[in-house]
Structure 1
Amino acid sequence: MAALFSCAAAAEVPQAARDADVVVLGEQHDNPAHHQRQAEWTSALAPQALVFEMLKPRQAANANFDWADQAELDAAIDWSQNGWPSFDLYFPVFEAARGVAIFGALVPREELRDRLENPIVKHPLAALFGLDQPVDAKEQAAREALQAAAHCDALPEEMLPVMVTAQRLRDVALADATLRALRATGGPIVVITGNGHARSDWGMPALLAYAARDVTVFVLGQGEDGADVTGTFNLTLDAPSPKRADPCDAFKQ
């Protein structure tokens, strides 16, 4: 663990994060520097549990054993079959918290499809997380605009509300997994997720604040090349962007 953690990284972690019950570490999924920072912060915070957006609960349960190396852990949780960026990027985070409880918050595709067939207010956790409250019209419009941009303006307009609902359902799963991790271990908890779910104005931390007002949360957003990160965070830190193909190329074929 010491190899992952430098004095510079230690100085970067503010006291407010060290004092929080839950620390949410945002990311751009394919940015190696973001994951290295997550590993360094995880090492500094010494959490009792990690919650991953990228793991289904069953996969996360399979991570809770004394694995020997990256290959053994990958085989146990099937990360490389998940469709997420390479496990090489994420393994340092697991290594920085070796031995702590792992929780998964990924909603299986079939479950998400079933949930989308019903109004979100019928979700069994709707009242707990405030999903039974109407979404502000300006917020809904902003959410739909972000979904349109994220999909290169290639989605039919009628699909945008569905994509927003899917995002909210994933936020619910993250908030629920975090509360379960907190109840099971007493905390602190580190949550690994994308910036869109990490944002405290309407992402997972907002649901957590609604359901458990006594839980203190610190949220880190991670940007690239000096560009603003959309949303509200306690702290935003920057990193170089990796070389990547134009994500909109897939929509042009």
Structure 2
Amino acid sequence: MKQIVAAVGMLVVSVLVYAQSPASPDLNTIQNWSNADYILLGEVHDNAAGHALRQEWLKALVTKGHFALAMEQLDRENQALLTVTEQDLLSKANTVNEGQLKELAKAGSFSFKGWQWSFYEPLFKMAVEQNLPLIATNLSQSEMMSLMTGKVKASTLPSEWHSSMTKLMQERVEKGHCNMLPKEMVSPMASAQIERDRSMAEAIVAAHRDTHLPVILVAGNGHLREDLAVPFWLKVLDPKAKVVSIAVMEEGNTDNEPQKAFTSVYYVPAQDRADPCEELKHHRFAMPEHKK
């Protein structure tokens, strides 16, 4: 979300912080990442520079060992078809064309309308060329709608989850929609987001145990927060595991995520884009109907 920094002093402090953040980790740092059980690599979804930087990290990581590659952009309910499709590609040829990669993405319900294909095609290509098991982690849109309408009850939260965390998630949902959401939508959407993070964690824990490989997860920065999102659930599900959470933020941090919520933060130039809040002014928000 676009934020206006009013105080010049705050702006100066921000510039100093970004200047101290290296553009990319050194090889020793990447080696340390490769020793983790779960390597969470973030993104601002539409930032080309961030995707390019992360791709360089992935290239470096696969020289250090073999991994499973998990993606927010793939629906977990399609894991079986995704695996079969990937294995079929691996059995046919060492190289694949774009059409085959798109079929692989479709097997995991990749949304070509919602995600920019050019940013994610290299991930699918790397998975096939390096024989990295692809792992789908997200809830489908229908699952999200079922949660929001109460058709499906959300899972019971563990004792480690506090009411303050629910409140924070609700605040993030409101801010993420420019404070334009109807009040009755905030709590259901926050609950669904919590379930998404849990689903991602469950998927990569299962993949780690099934493949006996460390897992790289690519997902939006918000899903990588150690205080609230996937890393929290990893502590619950696999408490002895080593987890690193690496955010890729824009200079100016327009997403307003706190640096302390990640293992490391790296900055890229902000993407030129229209003000999302202006676009949301023309959006009609409404709770989905609960169809019996």
> Does the 8 Å CA contact 1:22/1:187 hold for their aligned counterparts?
no
> Does the 8 Å CA contact 1:10/1:41 hold for their aligned counterparts?
no
In 2, Cα distance between equivalents of 1:230 and 1:223: 10
In 1, Cα distance between equivalents of 2:252 and 2:239: 33
Q: How far 1:194 sits from its partner (Å)?
A: 0.6
Q: Helix, strand or coil for the counterpart of 1:248?
A: helix
Residue 84 of structure 1 corresponds to which residue in structure 2? Answer: 114
Q: How far 1:95 sits from its partner (Å)?
A: 3.1
Q: Helix, strand or coil for the counterpart of 1:73?
A: helix
In 2, Cα distance between equivalents of 1:195 and 1:217: 15
After superposition, what is the alpha-carbon deviation per residue over 1:107-134, rounded to whole angstroms, capped at 9, x for unaligned?
Answer: 11222222341442xx3xx5xxxx2437
Q: Helix, strand or coil for the counterpart of 1:68?
A: coil
Structure 1 residues 249 and 82: CA distance shift in structure 2, 3 A: same
Asked which structure has the greater CA Rg, the reply is: 2
Among 34, 57, 60, the alignment partner of 1:44 is 60
Residue 200 of structure 2 corresponds to which residue in structure 1? Answer: 174
In 1, Cα distance between equivalents of 2:28 and 2:271: 22
> Does the 8 Å CA contact 1:80/1:86 hold for their aligned counterparts?
no
Unmatched segments (≥5 aa) in structure 1: 1-7
Residue 112 of structure 1 corresponds to which residue in structure 2? Answer: 144
Structure 1 residues 208 and 244: CA distance shift in structure 2, 3 A: same
Q: Helix, strand or coil for the counterpart of 2:276?
A: coil
Residue 70 of structure 1 corresponds to which residue in structure 2? Answer: 98
Structure 1 residues 161 and 135: CA distance shift in structure 2, 3 A: farther
The reply to whether residue 230 of structure 1 matches residue 258 of structure 2 is: yes
> Does the 8 Å CA contact 1:10/1:44 hold for their aligned counterparts?
no
In 2, Cα distance between equivalents of 1:105 and 1:12: 29
> Does the 8 Å CA contact 1:229/1:236 hold for their aligned counterparts?
no
Q: How far 1:81 sits from its partner (Å)?
A: 4.1
Unmatched segments (≥5 aa) in structure 2: 1-23, 283-292
In 2, Cα distance between equivalents of 1:72 and 1:80: 13
Q: Helix, strand or coil for the counterpart of 1:35?
A: helix
Task: Specify the code of the residue in structure 2 equivalent to 1:218.
Answer: V
In 2, Cα distance between equivalents of 1:14 and 1:77: 27
